Structure 1
Amino acid sequence: MSGSREERTPRRGIWGWMLFDWAQQPFHTLIITFVFAPYFAAVVAPDAARGQELWGLATGIGGLLIAFFSPLLGAIADAAGPRKPWVFVFSVIGVLSCAALWFAVPGMADLTLVMIAIALAVFGMEFAAVFNNAMMPDLVPRSELGRLSGSAWGLGYVGGLVSLVLVLGFMSASPESGLTLAGLKPVFALDPATHEGDRAAGPLTALWYIIFVLPMFLFTPDQPRRNRSGALRQGLRQLAATLRRLPSQRSYFSFLGASMFYRDALNALYAFGGIYAAGILDWSIVEIGLFGILANVTGALGAWAGGRADQAYGPKFVVNVSILILILCSLLVISTTRTEVLFVEVGEGSRLPDMLFYAAGALIGAAGGSIQAASRTLLVDQVPRTEVTEAFGLYAFSGKATTFIGPLSVAAATAWFSSGAFALSPNDAQRLGVTPILVLFMLGFALLPMVKARVEPMVRG
């Protein structure tokens, strides 16, 4: 099959593929960013700085596993044909690991099993997305990929928003009041004192994924099965040939490098945003959840708008603007504490730090949704139509294979500022520990001038 074919994928097949983003987004929203991550850092770990370090270590190990296995498994999958079996295998790993997070009780002495579950959840869920994304070019003509990508990202953000509202409104309650954000007692008699509502984010993510990933398996067409004998040898031969000629393709090579850096920075920003707010601004899970709701709303709008803006101004323009916004937001986040805004002291009890952090979250959500939608379109501009599927596989590899850089660099920076010659306070160490994210965004932005758009944008009047 090819994205350029005249025969169109049935609408239910396209919707089935798009629903994968809806199914998977609660993993990023509830586990990685707004509920479980800050709960782990603030309540399970000994202190917030140590929690940020351990979270970076666990998610970084998950990224290292992806880096180790993705070239081999991606080559085999390309040679064998179908992607759904791979999606299924890694979905099982991700679902079981998310469900296991229920056992992360407050103040537990040994965090080993929880950290293993976190690493495997990242490994399984992210790898399932790699093979799902590889199905995208076969669904619509090339001219419609940008709109499909943006719509799918937008739908995913809406799914994350709905799941977050469910957790905050009906499950996660304040230990002091015993009530959820909606002023209700938690459903299923979840105990606020032991944070059962926060821990339930893991099993809810697993159940949500199982239900909403089914349409993709049932209705979305897959590649036909090829001769499996020699698939490993054939796939590795093709991968080796691609990697040999890649450095000579300056624009394509530069785009993969730039996207590797800025996507890793964005993932790290998502992963540590809630942890940072809990440790530096002393936000509760409810406040972080409201922050998450806002970011998901603007993320959905940004993804939808990004998918259409690249038709008017080109995807490279959208990516450039989005990175600049994310750099400014990162600076704002680092310069904001309970008593400072832009490194300038504010009065005690001021709500200005909270308001600016909410504003930064809204912009991060919008720019993050937009850049992810436009990046997939910009990739299509780098290769001939006959190489789109292979390009998406390499794009996935270049992004997923380095997902450990952001988390591990944050973990290392936090540990460095916490000990040795610096030995800063936990708050200052946590604050300076996220500076590698800013560096990664700048590296990605520096490589973009070498990236060319093969298709000129059509600016509408």
Structure 2
Amino acid sequence: MTDPDAPRSPEAPRNFPPSHLTPADGAAATIGVATGQVEAVAEAGARKGRIFAWGLWDWGSAAFNAVVTTFVFTVYLTSESFGPKGTVEAQLGWALAIAGLLIALLAPITGQRSDTSGRRKFWLAVNTYIVVAITVAMFFVQPGPEYLLLGLFLVAAGNVFFEFAGVNYNAMLVQVSTPRSIGKVSGFGWGMGYVGGIVLLLVVYFGFIQPEVGLFGVTGENGMDVRVTMLVSALWFGLFALPVLFAVPEYRNPAAVEREKIGFFASYARLGRDIKRLWNEQRNTVWFLLASAVFRDGLAGVFTFGGVLAASVFGFSAGEVIIFAIAANVVAGISTIAVGALDDKLGAKPVIMAALIGLVVSGLIVFFLHDGGQIVFWTAGLALCLFVGPAQSASRTFLARLIPAGREGEVFGLYATTGRAVSFLAPTAFALFVTIGGEPYYGILGIVLVIALGLALLIPVKASAPTR
């Protein structure tokens, strides 16, 4: 995927096996970065420290993923304090839909431009601390209809800039890993995110939300428990995002693939040429972007609707849902870190395939044994979580092994775009099956169907062999 005006790169594409290279080629095939960069990462005395610093960003980002968008702020924003039930949920949906559209349109361009400018870490910092500032601003959203628009705007804007930050963060994976360790490092990052979410949820739940009078005398009056939680979350993300900015050197685009800097709108013309060339020369990458978009939406559906199913089908109370959510994150985090080593030994595709099959089987067990009570959801539901993290992590490493050198930001931008482009699949399938079956548990079949479709699309995609 190169610009027609740029000089031809002597480096082999990332999906060539190592046997296709000689020392004169000066490239590492499995992840496509220049040999000098790989050796610098491998030989740096602080390599493990850099990996840990990189993973801490994922740990800190749980403040936005778990607290803002999943369990606390969006739940607060859709309470009856802000408007009639059903209306506020729909407005939140529209706000997030607009955010998703902006991400789909802008993520590949922002990633492309960070690649070209060689300022990947700079843009990670900018977008991260915009998210931190937005989270701080959520403190000013008081419980009342007149504050709904402000809350919706902040959630939508936070999602946009969080995705922009994630594009650069994912692209940095090749800067802190080697061809032999990329799966383990990616799994470590995902696992840190899950564990960070657990710790922060415990802190804010028992420190501010659950007690009548929490830490520092905070109560639920005027939504102060949730609003202070936003300040704590902003501080959490801001602090844990710092290590990667100090420990990992700024990205330097290999000279062979540097591209002329162009204007913002001209970047779309370049992107169109790149996608066309990607289709002509590395069609396998395009098919993976499509397959991963589908099964990643199914993975998102597992967490999005897991709490709904726990409450409506299996009779979990609100407190039990949060306890299950914490347990689910524990299971997902441990499995993701543990399976990262298998990614490096076997390759990402077998890990993804096994995880998706496990998800389909576990989902069907939940569906057919739904009359068995909470024990069914605790066992089969946690089994679902056992497979979600490894599938997410291995998906990232699969793509990282395919991307042409110097295009990490751009292609991970496309990764974000394709994911957003089909983000309607799991919600639509869930709602459709509930409507057809007449009971909430039928929605499980909708999520399973989306995961199975992604699995089917992944089967013909060719994988890069792991480096041993």
- Residues of 1 paired with 2:168 and 2:184: CA distance? 20
TM-superposed deviation, 1:163: 0.6
The alpha-carbon deviation at position 40 of structure 1 amounts to 3.9
Residue 53 of structure 1 and its aligned partner are, at CA, apart by 3.9
CA shift digits 1:267-321 (9 cap, x unpaired): 3433343455456666554323212211111111111122012234332121012
> 1:358 aligned to 367, 374, 378, which one?
378
Deviation, 1:446, is 1.3
How do 1:249-398 residues align onto structure 2 when only pairs under 5 Å count? 249-275=282-308, 277=310, 283-331=316-364, 335=367, 342=369, 344=371, 353-382=373-402, 387-391=404-408, 393-398=410-415
Q: Which moved more, 1:388-397 or 1:275-284?
A: 275-284
Shifted more, 31-40 versus 226-235: the winner is 226-235
| Identical residues among aligned pairs (%) | 29
| Contact 2:167/2:412 (8 A) holds in 1 | no
The residue aligned with 2:278 is: 246
Distance 2:87 2:449 in 1: 22
The unaligned stretches of length 5 or more in structure 2 are 1-32
Select between 212-221 and 10-19 the one with higher mean Cα deviation. 10-19
Q: 1:395 to 1:314 in 2, by over 3 A?
A: same
Q: What do the CA deviations read for 1:80-135 (whole angstroms, capped 9, x no partner)?
A: 11112222332233223323333455564663222211111111112111111112
Tell me if structure 2 keeps the 8 A contact 1:63–1:402: no
Alpha-carbon offset, residue 324 of structure 1: 2.3
Partner Cα distance (2:426, 2:236) in 1: 31
Contact 2:433/2:445 (8 A) holds in 1? no
| 8 Å contact kept, 1:53–1:411 | no
Instruction: Find 1:150's aligned residue among 187, 191, 200.
Output: 187
The answer to whether the 8 A contact 1:168-1:289 is kept is no
Given that residues 79 and 85 in structure 2 are in contact (C-alpha distance below 8 angstroms), is that contact kept between their aligned partners in structure 1? yes
Q: Give the conservation status (yes or no) of the 8 Å contact 1:150–1:306.
A: yes
**Cα distance, 1:374–1:66 mapped onto 2, change above 3 Å:** same
Q: Pairwise CA RMSD of aligned residues? A: 3.5
Structure 1 residue corresponding to 2:454, chosen from 444, 448, 458 = 444
User: In structure 2, what is the equivalent of residue 215 of structure 1?
Assistant: 243
Counterpart code for 1:363: A
Q: Quick one: distance in 1 between partners of 2:61 and 2:39?
A: 30
Q: Against the structure 1 CA distance between its residues 59 and 362, is the aligned structure 2 distance closer, same or farther, given a 3 Å change threshold?
A: farther
Distance of 1:284 and 1:250 partners within structure 2: 48
Code of the aligned partner of 2:251: Q
| TM-score, structure 2 normalization | 0.78
Secondary structure class of the residue paired with 1:218: helix
Paired positions, count = 426
Whether 1:65 aligns to 2:102 is yes
Once the two structures are TM-superposed, the CA of residue 366 in structure 1 deviates from its matched residue by: 2.2
- Partners of 1:417 and 1:440 in 2: how far apart? 12
Q: 1:42 to 1:324 in 2, by over 3 A?
A: farther
Residue of 55, 67, 78 corresponding to 1:18: 55
C-alpha contact (below 8 Å) 1:53/1:412 kept by paired residues: no
SS in 2 for 1:455: coil
Name the structure 2 match of 1:201.
Answer: 229
**Aligned-residue offset at 1:445:** 1.0
Residues 279 and 56 of structure 1: CA distance in aligned 2, closer, same or farther (over 3 Å): farther
Q: What CA deviation, in whole Å up to 9, does each residue of 1:56-94 have, x standing for no partner?
A: 333332221111111222222221111122223322332
How far 1:151 sits from its partner (Å)? 1.3
- TM score, norm. by length of structure 1: 0.79
Residue 39 of structure 2 aligns to a residue in which SS? coil
- Could you tell me how far apart the structure 1 residues matched to 2:107 and 2:125 are? 16
Counterpart contact for 2:279–2:286, Cα < 8 Å: yes
